[in-house]
Structure 1
Amino acid sequence: MPGRLPVPAIRRAHRLVGGFRHRRPRQLAYGIKALTAALLAWALAGPAAPEGRAYVAVATALLMVNASTVYRSVTNALQSIAAKVVGLVLALMTVRLLGPTAGAIAVIALLTVLAGPRRTSDGRLQVASTAVVALAAMAGDPMGGLVSPVLQTLAGAVVGIAVNALVLPPLHVDDSDSAVRTLAHAVGELLHDMGTGLARGELRSKAPGWLHRGRQLEKHLAFTQEQVRQADESLRWNARCVTHGSHDVTYGELFSALRGVSLQVRGIARTLADNAYDHPDRHLGLQFLERYAETLQLAGTAVRSLVDDLRTETDPADPHERLRTAIEGALAWHETLTDLIGQGTLTKPGAWHVYGSLMTDVERLLADLDYAGAHRT
């Protein structure tokens, strides 16, 4: 009908509205903090600014108050102040030698771009921009043009840090928790799916998909590592962290365990994918695959138990007990498989390297789960 939006457009609109509603409290807090910092910086640095217009102080305060953590706002402030001081001194020297001319701008650009390693390019560009902007102000009053921006920068940095630290200082514990849970679910589901597929005899058809999902775990690992790092950083110098329990700082250890498990899962997926199309004499025996499948399923349950409360009406056991039971069950299957391989019951000619790779990966996986489970109880 004319005038009606298509269904995909309506769904996208609903998602946007839902996302806005979810982020609204956080965005409102950021807005209040930014407005507070801007007004305080303008009032504090006004006497030191030309005609009371403390634009540099306001800009610096906004940068500091919008830092992702209190610790980051302090380090950013120190870097910003150092860059501005160097830029202003550089501008003063070039004005004294060359005057406010195009030659002074060329000298500033050459010195800041060519000096220092490439990794400090952001700081050097800040030095250059500060020096160029200061040329006009310092042309008529060199000392006034040098002192006022420095005082404004100091005032803005102090205000921005204070507001960021005292008015709802940012914490990223929930984001870290969510990222770790998502990673654990991805790893646990892949283990469970590999075990289910092996039990159903779907190795050849499902192995490429398992390998693809194993490779995709790298993206989950990189994202989760950044979230955990930011969460740990947000707890530094943060008054709000005293209201949170000690369990909020254990995501680093849990992530380290999950990273080790992820590496072993990817190795298992790689070996299974290679074996699916390998020489017939190197195919794994059905008895081995059946037992290995159950080991993977138990391991998948153990991984999910690290982050989920798996209590149900039929199984009301504590999640830590279920984790311990799942790991012990997987270890028992591992010992059984090792004994059968040692006796030559499950082996085929030419398949020793495949058995060895799979057993080594699952042994390391279970060791990481055992360590993580012991530290979560």
Structure 2
Amino acid sequence: MRDMRKWWARVGPEVVRRSRDPVIVQMLRSTAAATIAYVIALRLSPESVPLTAPLTALLVVQVTLYSTLTTGIRRVNSVVAGVLVAIAFSLLVGLTWWSLALVIIAALVVGHLVRVDEFVPEVAISAMLVLGVTAVGNTAWSRVLETLIGAAVGLACNLLLAPPVWVDEAGESIDGLARRVRQLMLRCGEEAAGRTPPQQAAERLHEARRLDHDITQVDADLRQAEDSLRLNPRVREGLLHRIVLRTGLDTLEICTVVLRVIARTLTDLAKEREPEPLFPPPAGEVVEQLLSEIADAVVSFAVLVTTSVSVSAESAEERLTSELRQAGATRDALARILLENVRRDDRQWHLYGALLTEATRIIDELDTEHRTRRLFEELDRHSREQRERRPRLTRARERVRASRRRMRNRAAAARRST
């Protein structure tokens, strides 16, 4: 028993982590949905082997509830549209090479008209499969029934078995991106303090450019998290979570672009000042200190964005504010040192000025007041878009809120009168 506990203590955390892996979750949910759909279709469908039901359930079930609902509706529309096209053609012509061509082109046109998006080819596939059988009428409606069974089972699996919320995974991706930015910025600062060959500076520039691929992966993880927050009954204030994460990634992306420009500036400095150091003393040490402080602020910003507990968020915001204040003071000190150097030797003044400007941009992007303004702007934009997209629903919500306010005012007035 003691050995079993030791074994579970060793492998248990890994099993729990694996159980939340999107690939494993998708495999288990899809297998369960397809099996249940097949069992139900065996009882309700006249077909002896109703494989359309598990196929539809397998394709409808997605990792998030939002994608399941939207995908399921479009998939059902695509299959039903294809079946209707096949029924219409079967009443007029048989299956020949030219009728098959007409069925395909008609199904593709209908797919675009009913707006099934990525499932347009499935309209043609359904039409061809139904047109190719002998008893077209019975098989067509059986296929429609099996499709509805599979879609219903797929939707029910996500409604009864609430899908996981992928906010933590997206937060880990954002935090990992921030730490990679920090490591690269620290290396740039260390090399700026000494004599750096142009080839070595160019390597840092290539590393900064490769961060674009990391941003693409983080964006994919964030999209999955955003979908998991939509229409999920376990989530409150899902819109706020989505906007906080999205604006945080946008800020980190801007910082990554500016870091790439910093690496470009340092590379140009290495070429122009070879074999001398990039910065005359003591400017090099101050540049290293400045980039180190900005790098720490980038990680603190990621922690602030991905922290959901209010107490932790407040401490992260205080730490970020302190680090940005210190970075601003170091930047001002570097500006004074570089100004004295430029007065003695103005050959690289434009590159020194560019470095100061780029450091200022990152500091401004990470500023907490700038982040707060951005959050309010995104919330206002989303509310405005919702009102424009659904004016009737917006008016109904406003009426409900107004009636609730009137009821609260009346209750407060009644309490004061008593």
Fold in common (TM above 0.5): yes
Asked whether 1:133 is paired with 2:151, we answer no
- Which residue in 1 is equivalent to 2:120? 124
Do the aligned partners of 1:282 and 1:350 also contact (CA within 8 Å) in 2?
Answer: no
Q: Could you say what the CA RMSD is over the residues aligned between the two structures, in angstroms?
A: 3.5
- Between the aligned partners of 2:53 and 2:110, the Cα distance in structure 1 is 28
Please, which runs of 5 or more residues in structure 1 have no aligned partner? 1-17, 310-317
After superposition, the C-alpha distances for 1:107-147 in whole angstroms (9 at most, x for unaligned) are 22344568888x9884332111111110134x4242x3332
Equivalent residue runs for 1:139-150 within 5 Å: 139-142=134-137, 144-150=138-144
Cα offset, 1:248, TM superposition:
7.8
Match for residue 206 of structure 1?
200
> Does 1:50 pair with 2:46?
yes
- Greater displacement, 235-244 / 74-83: 235-244
Instruction: Give the whole-Å Cα distance in 2 for the aligned partners of 1:347 and 1:362.
Output: 23
- State yes or no: 1:367 paired with 2:364: yes
Alpha-carbon distance in 2 for matches of 1:46, 1:156: 12
- Per the alignment, residue 310 of structure 2 pairs with none
Pairing partner for 1:34 from 30, 35, 41: 30
Aligned residues: 348
Q: Aligned partners of 2:97, 2:48: CA distance in 1, in Å?
A: 29
1:335 equivalent to 2:332? Answer: yes
What TM-score do you get using the length of structure 2 for normalisation? 0.72
Q: Which residue of 1 aligns with 2:223?
A: 229
CA deviation map 1:137-185 (0-9, x unaligned): 4x4242x333222222122212101212321413222221121011001
For the 8 Å contact 1:282–1:351, the answer to whether it is kept is no
- Give the match for residue 191 of structure 1: 185
TM-score, with length taken from structure 1? 0.79
CA deviation map 1:227-257 (0-9, x unaligned): 1121111111112335999768632222111
Query: 2: CA distance between counterparts of 1:29 and 1:183?
Result: 25
Does the Cα contact within 8 Å between 1:235 and 1:241 map onto a contact in 2? yes
Match of 2:235, SS? helix
1:86-112 per-position Cα deviation (integer Å, ceiling 9, x unaligned): 211221222222213333222223445
The 1-side partners of 2:95 and 2:241 are apart by 58
More displaced stretch, 128-137 vs 30-39: 30-39
User: Residue 72 of structure 2: which of 77, 98, 102 is its match?
Assistant: 77
What amino acid is aligned across from residue 283 of structure 2 in structure 1?
F
Q: Which position in structure 1 is the counterpart of 2:102?
A: 107
Letter in 2 for 1:33: R
Identity percentage of aligned residues: 27
Output one character per residue of 1:258-285: Cα deviation in whole Å (capped at 9) or x when no partner: 1111111010001111221126799654
AA aligned to 1:335 is D
Is the 8 Å Cα contact of residues 41 and 159 (structure 1) preserved in structure 2? Answer: yes
Matched AA of 1:212: H
Q: Does the CA-based 8 Å contact 1:340-1:346 persist in structure 2?
A: no
Unpaired stretches in structure 2, ≥5 consecutive residues: 1-12, 305-314, 373-418
Q: Which residue identity is paired with 1:218?
A: D
Bigger RCO of structures 1 and 2 (CA < 8 A, at least 6 apart): 1
